[in-house]
Amino acid sequence: MVNKRLVIALDNSKECLKALDFALEHFPIGYTYHLVHLQPRPVAYPYVASPLAFEISYLNMQAIDKETITSSSKFLDDVFASKAKSAGADVFAVVVSVDSDSSSDIGAAICTYTEKTKANALILMRQNKSTISRFFLGSVTKYCAIHSPVPVIIVPSTA
């Protein structure tokens, strides 16, 4: 049997378990799951008083970035990967750093990861955002639906 790849984009919320449950229910055999979480890097302060202050700020940001990635990796492994593995799935859990927390940057990183892994499909959880929130903040799901190189499966939050 040919092994196909599914990329399942997740955030650090247990609501995203619905996306994993959907994959386990509808694609139980012959698939490798790539569980990917996008971690925005800490925002840098645009103005720094001195070179020493900049260096200290930069080192602190690196430490914070490393700590959040470690924490996200643990959550991804403990909550999502363990559930998929217990169902018998082959799983790769990955945390990818993104320079911004904008929807378009996160969406682009998901699409890039999907293309890089030669996935057959992308599964996303649709978040319940108001129209105003989607307008001002954007939508990762919408970005991926438009730009993904593979078919996108959008799991509604009510699933």
Residue 151 pLDDT grade (very low, low, confident, very high; cuts 50, 70, 90): very high
Assess whether pLDDT exceeds 60 at residue 100. Answer: yes
How buried is residue 33: exposed, middle or buried, by Cβ count under 10 Å (0-12/13-18/19+)? buried
Mean pLDDT of 108-124: 95
Residue 137 pLDDT grade (very low, low, confident, very high; cuts 50, 70, 90): very low
| pLDDT at residue 42, rounded to an integer | 61
SS3 158: coil
SS3 159: coil
Assess whether pLDDT exceeds 80 at residue 147. Answer: yes
pTM over 0.85: no
Which of these, 117, 126, 119, 118, lies nearest to 145 by C-alpha position?
126
CATH at 96: 3.40.50.620
Query: For residue 71, what are the domain limits?
Result: 4-155
As a whole number of angstroms, the distance between CA 134 and CA 99 comes to: 20
**Residue 65 CA to its chain's centroid (Å):** 16
User: For residues 42 and 149, which has the higher predicted lDDT (pLDDT)?
Assistant: 149
| pLDDT at residue 132, rounded to an integer | 58
Strand ranges (E), the chain = 4-10, 31-40, 90-98, 121-125, 152-155
Tens digit of each residue's pLDDT (9 = 90 or more) over 4-22: 999 999 887 777 888 899 9
As a whole number of angstroms, the distance between CA 7 and CA 11 comes to: 13
SS3 100: coil
Angle between helices 103-116 and 140-147 (to 10 degrees): 40
| pLDDT at residue 141, rounded to an integer | 86
Which of these, 21, 68, 72, lies nearest to 41 by C-alpha position?
68
Tens digit of each residue's pLDDT (9 = 90 or more) over 46-82: 445 556 555 556 566 677 778 888 888 898 898 889 9
| pLDDT at residue 136, rounded to an integer | 45
Q: How many domains does the chain have?
A: 1
